[in-house]
Structure 1
């Protein structure tokens, strides 16, 4: 077996559709010794559909799909391969030059994991260590380079951690624009140990061409609210246009998903161009309608803020109507993020997260936002 030139993968805690429920992903933040591994693997987080002969993962994270599309601008289709992490031997061989890994919380250092597994090895960390141990053995045999990127890459951005896990390069930030050049440098053994990068032009974010975990597509990047504890605040807000979102959504619907989930850092700021952060109702309802028209049963999203919800309760009712939530009885569950309602803490740390309301109103904003029926 010659192996694929470029192999992309992620640890097993990420290579799952979580039985259609993102909340099951939090189980991976819990301690490894509490839940038997077979229960995690078979009951809560079964692996994505995988070709049993080649080990190809048919569904992957949005981040891996972005890198895949970026690489296909310079590599041939059969040279770039997304692999199930438990079947890497099927795709890695003497012709393999680079293995790219997407990470979310590889060492279990993120807030949810440290809360759920404060003194014990978490599932996310265990699955990452297990995958890396296998990659290290394959690397000794075939001498390829390993690069890591993704939201959790910062955890590995130290030489000793990289060495322990067999990593040559860590990319912190957004690799969309630089992925192709980076992989060429990796092949030549000329890549830096650590890179920090951010996308400057929205046109340079490549369009995905394969189905994603739970049909999640990226609607926007960045936020603009300025919370000082949030890495997202380092990115300028970029709204991806409806036409390309429809293209990416259709790929997932054609694969067999019946819903579309929009990833954002603050979905209700999509299309917003005012300093008061009042939601652009027309832009958001047009987005929901445009995706629903493709035949999706439901359009969900990952993040909103209470301030945006409270600023326009009618918008939430319209989203509910487009989704036909009254008919189906389905809720739109999303992450809201309260952090604190103490006025002095809000002023110090939350930037303009309270807008269009004043920091002193944040407590009442949270209470009113929670009352919104949909």
Structure 2
């Protein structure tokens, strides 16, 4: 949950001591990772670990290096590969915060500092030994909208998609001085099979272990649905669990886009495989969490499969943990929009019953102490004031259930660039959206305080972090409440003028050109 803080701007400022505010944010949401004498991190993002493993298995001398140490290796490197979850803060919820407060999100700010710091090394290595720079990861697409920055930083290849099958060939071609494409897109036909996905060689952040890829629900706004559905066998999952435990990591996260669907061939659950999966994970990890689930899966597990959600909770919750978390897509409270853009979201239940699915599922989660971070999309195409009011009404109904609600502005890709030197979010803002954002904020602040003080970071060893997080929550609450009058004024102006509101976010090219850090 704390990782979400990196998607927002630096809220806390300490007078003239701007670096202190930055340090507080990093301490809470992005603490420095321990490294060995070579600058290799103790843990690294899971996707990078998979690519590292594929290259090592192919006999290529590859390693993940911490950002603070990478400059030491660039002069002699042939290939520099970069990955980031949100290079320029264009993904939601980063773009949401940028639109609301007009400030650069922390994740993009830290990446900008890093790139400006290593740029001289990159340019020198290109001249001296023909270094090639490849950018990938879940936000690789962002570079395509900013060709000026590709040129500025000497980016040679953008690699977009699952890389285990194609990345080795790309790197070998670079090492053999063969021409390579500027853009590589991995479509469904090029996605690796389970057998082609290697076991990671070194630990991933938070003991992360993937259990499958793809999703069968077919939501219109989600790229994951384009990927074929694949599940790892238990023995392959166990290999990575053992690796983490070997390195002293006994707290972890299992990942798929809908964990309860593990072992299924569609949206119908496989109780036997799901129970065996959790028994296996708890054999190695003292505490565990899920990356994602859906409201439909939780409700189906409990109602259609003989209280399966409760049975899973009984496996997870023991003397080492009494709750777990997951990211869950609420998306909208509008039943009309839900039927149009995500008809499979409630399956095996009917999307027409979306409100009942949401409320009943959250009641189950509350009871079994599964704490969801709910994501809700603001400004979906075709959204009307009535649609927004339905979402507000649904939030009122789910207020009794422990959860966080994270707003995400819908950002059409053709609106990322407004002019040569910047980008905007062009957004049809309605007065109802202002009320919706306030409702989400009130819900999340209320439950964030409860979660931090009764569930999260328990134990005396976490007291300093808990104090810092409580201070941060109270500080953000105070800052946002101070904006309420301005938000009401904006809502009134929109009502009177009935205009399309352009919300300007930080102009990326200007930020890079003005920075000499």
TM-score normalized by structure 1? Answer: 0.88
Q: What secondary structure is seen at the aligned counterpart in 1 of 2:93? A: helix
Equivalent of 1:110 in 91, 94, 99: 91
For CA contacts below 8 A with separation 6 or more, give which structure has more relative contact order. Answer: 1
Q: What secondary structure is seen at the aligned counterpart in 1 of 2:324? A: coil
- 2:109 maps to what in 1? 126
Question: Contact 1:32–1:126 (CA<8 Å) still a contact in 2?
Answer: no
Pairing 1:304–2:327 present: no
Question: Contact 1:219–1:240 (CA<8 Å) still a contact in 2?
Answer: yes
CA distance in 2, matches of 1:214, 1:34: 26
After superposing the two structures, state which structure 1 stretch, 191-200 or 212-221, moved more: 191-200
CA distance in 2, matches of 1:299, 1:329: 8
- 2:242 maps to what in 1? 250
Equivalent of 2:55 in 54, 57, 71: 71
Pairing 1:39–2:20 present: no
Question: Contact 1:264–1:302 (CA<8 Å) still a contact in 2?
Answer: yes
CA distance in 2, matches of 1:42, 1:189: 43
- CA 234–56 in structure 1, closer or farther in 2 if over 3 Å, else same: same
- 2:162 maps to what in 1? 174
CA distance in 1, matches of 2:107, 2:33: 16
- 2:144 maps to what in 1? 157
Question: Contact 1:172–1:197 (CA<8 Å) still a contact in 2?
Answer: yes
CA distance in 1, matches of 2:321, 2:165: 42
Question: Contact 1:228–1:351 (CA<8 Å) still a contact in 2?
Answer: no
TM-superposed deviation, 1:261? 0.8
Q: Residue by residue, what CA displacement relative to the aligned partner does 1:209-264 show, whole Å, maximum 9, x if unpaired?
A: 11000101111111110000001111011111111111101111121122221011
- 2:219 maps to what in 1? 227
Counting matched residue pairs gives 344
- 2:281 maps to what in 1? 291
TM-superposed deviation, 1:337? 0.8
CA distance in 2, matches of 1:255, 1:69: 17
- CA 317–33 in structure 1, closer or farther in 2 if over 3 Å, else same: closer
Question: Contact 1:227–1:351 (CA<8 Å) still a contact in 2?
Answer: yes
Q: Residue by residue, what CA displacement relative to the aligned partner does 1:89-122 show, whole Å, maximum 9, x if unpaired?
A: 23322x3100111111111011111222322111
Query: Greater helix percent: which structure?
Result: 2
Q: What secondary structure is seen at the aligned counterpart in 1 of 2:80? A: strand
- Correspondences of 1:335-374 after superposition (within 5 Å): 335-372=327-364, 373-374=367-368
- 2:39 maps to what in 1? 55
Question: Contact 1:108–1:125 (CA<8 Å) still a contact in 2?
Answer: yes
TM-superposed deviation, 1:329? 5.7
Question: Contact 1:217–1:249 (CA<8 Å) still a contact in 2?
Answer: yes
TM-superposed deviation, 1:135? 2.9
> Root-mean-square deviation (CA), in Å?
1.7
- 1:18 maps to what in 2? none
Question: Contact 2:335–2:351 (CA<8 Å) still a contact in 1?
Answer: yes
Question: Contact 1:66–1:176 (CA<8 Å) still a contact in 2?
Answer: yes
- 1:145 maps to what in 2? 132
Q: Residue by residue, what CA displacement relative to the aligned partner does 1:171-201 show, whole Å, maximum 9, x if unpaired?
A: 1111110111111223325221111014142
Structure possessing the higher radius of gyration over alpha carbons: 2
Q: Structure 2: where are the runs of 5+ without partners? A: 14-20, 369-517
CA distance in 1, matches of 2:66, 2:359: 44
Equivalent of 1:90 in 68, 72, 80: 72
